[in-house]
Amino acid sequence: MAVREARTMAVAVPTTRDDLVVALGRATTDTRIIAGGTDLVRSLRVPGDEPDLLISLGGLRGLSYVRLDGATVRVGATTTFTELQHDPVLREHGLCLALAASTIGSAQIRNVGTVGGNIANASPCADSAPALVALGADVTTVDGAGHTATRPLSEVVLGPYHTSLACDEAIVEFSFPALGPTQRTAFTKIGSRTAVTVARLTCAIVARFDAASGILEEVRVGLGAVGAVAFRVPEVEEALRGQRADAEAAALLAEGCVRAIGRSIPDRPTLPYKQHAAVGLAYDTWNALGLCPPCAPAAHDDRPEEVA
């Protein structure tokens, strides 16, 4: 591991997990951990805001992977969005995360940005967050004492740019139950343009479906960019469990998402827009699941004030 003092800032570029622990052991609240850097580099340029120690994860080749471990998908923290987008294991067992990765920024951003950085940065509009939420992902970290801990994503991301990660704690892995052949998943996003855009609203769905009966056995819905953090929508998930996968289910999904957004950002000026957009996005996500012939909202569904 290279540790070089430069003026008042030290830099650590660990190449092994043991080196990472040593570097984390030196961390203070002024330390920054850099993975891809697509969010962090801009803030590092703020005068007077330089960290005392910069720990680069770029040398840790062993943190970039997607693998199937029994019935669990494991994703290394420094796996880039480009790698997630194309990974065959992820496309088979966690497609919504691959789809979310494909909508992030540009090729230039996806080639460098990492899933660990996306979550540690804790932007409310982080594209990977609703997908990881819907997949029921856990986060594994390591700290400066060498301790490894695993906890749900919802216990890591606490608010806008605010996490429960200690200053000497780095995300090393995400894990979630592998999706099987009876499960479908989709991810959709609305931004101000089709590429290189900050999400205005994102939706990820994971649905277990009995093809013989046409019944939804379990549905998980994650919404992003409509609150402090990405969140599940238990009300919708309950309503859809046991429902036939048809246009009525799509309407339940849309109405439930609109209500959830109303609860999440009741005072936000963008609430009317987001509720209006959520109807279309919910239908787009539902249709992407491919569980029934494509359906569209009835005219009255398009007026958020009637279902808010």
The residue ranges that bind other proteins (CB under 8 A) are: 4, 6-7, 9, 11, 13, 34, 37-38, 41-42, 44-45, 50, 54, 56, 58, 82, 105-109, 111-112, 194-196
By beta-carbon proximity to other proteins, the closer residue of 105 and 214 is 105
**231 in helix, strand or coil?**
strand
Q: How far is the CB of 100 from other proteins (least distance, A)?
A: 16
Q: How far is the CB of 3 from other proteins (least distance, A)?
A: 11
3-state SS, 50-96, equals CCCEEEEHHHCHHHCCEEEECCEEEEECCCEHHHHHHCHHHHHHCHH
Q: How far is CA 76 from the centre of its chain?
A: 14
By beta-carbon proximity to other proteins, the closer residue of 7 and 300 is 7
CB distance 58 to 38 below 8 Å: no
Q: How far is the CB of 163 from other proteins (least distance, A)?
A: 21
Residue 197 vs residues 104, 106, 194, 205: alpha-carbon distances, Å: 8, 9, 7, 21
Q: How far is the CB of 308 from other proteins (least distance, A)?
A: 34
By beta-carbon proximity to other proteins, the closer residue of 118 and 275 is 118
By beta-carbon proximity to other proteins, the closer residue of 4 and 300 is 4
d(CA 157, CA 155) in angstroms, rounded, equals 6
- Strand 183-191's sheet: what is its strand order? 183-191, 199-210, 215-224, 231-232
d(CA 183, CA 196) in angstroms, rounded, equals 30
Q: How far is the CB of 6 from other proteins (least distance, A)?
A: 4
Q: How far is the CB of 269 from other proteins (least distance, A)?
A: 24
By beta-carbon proximity to other proteins, the closer residue of 9 and 158 is 9
By beta-carbon proximity to other proteins, the closer residue of 193 and 300 is 193
Q: How far is the CB of 140 from other proteins (least distance, A)?
A: 24
Residue 26 vs residues 151, 169, 280: alpha-carbon distances, Å: 24, 11, 49
Residue 132 corresponds to which amino acid?
L
Q: Which region holds residue 242: left if phi is over 0, alpha if psi is between -120 and 50, else beta?
A: left
Other beta carbons within 10 Å of 116: 27
By beta-carbon proximity to other proteins, the closer residue of 127 and 143 is 127
Nearest one of 235, 243, 206 to 221, comparing CA atoms: 206
